Amino acid sequence: MTAREKILAASRDLIDERSFEAATVGSICRQASVSNGSFFHAFSSKEDRVAELFMETLISYRDP
């Protein structure tokens, strides 16, 4: 699994378990076992990551 895939999975899980506010970049990185640098290499911000999560969710509902 790539760092990007780990970040995607960890942020999805943390936002689902806690909330958007509680899913900090630090907590996402710890959950994914990646560095902050890896996070910001893959995404420009937490909001950028959440926008991608939102699009993934829309696509999954559209294409079951």
User: How many structural domains is the chain composed of?
Assistant: 1
In terms of residue numbers, what domain contains 44? 3-62
| CB-side neighbour CA atoms (13 Å) of 33 | 2
Q: CA 52 to CA 8: how far, in whole Å? A: 9
Tens digit of each residue's pLDDT, the chain (64 residues): 999 999 999 998 998 999 888 889 999 999 999 999 999 999 998 888 888 888 887 888 877 6
The enclosing domain of 32 has a CATH number of: 1.10.10.60
pLDDT at 59: 85
pLDDT at 48: 85
Chain centre to alpha carbon of residue 42 = 10
Q: Which amino acid is at 8?
A: L
pLDDT at 24: 92
Chain centre to alpha carbon of residue 52 = 8
pLDDT at 35: 97
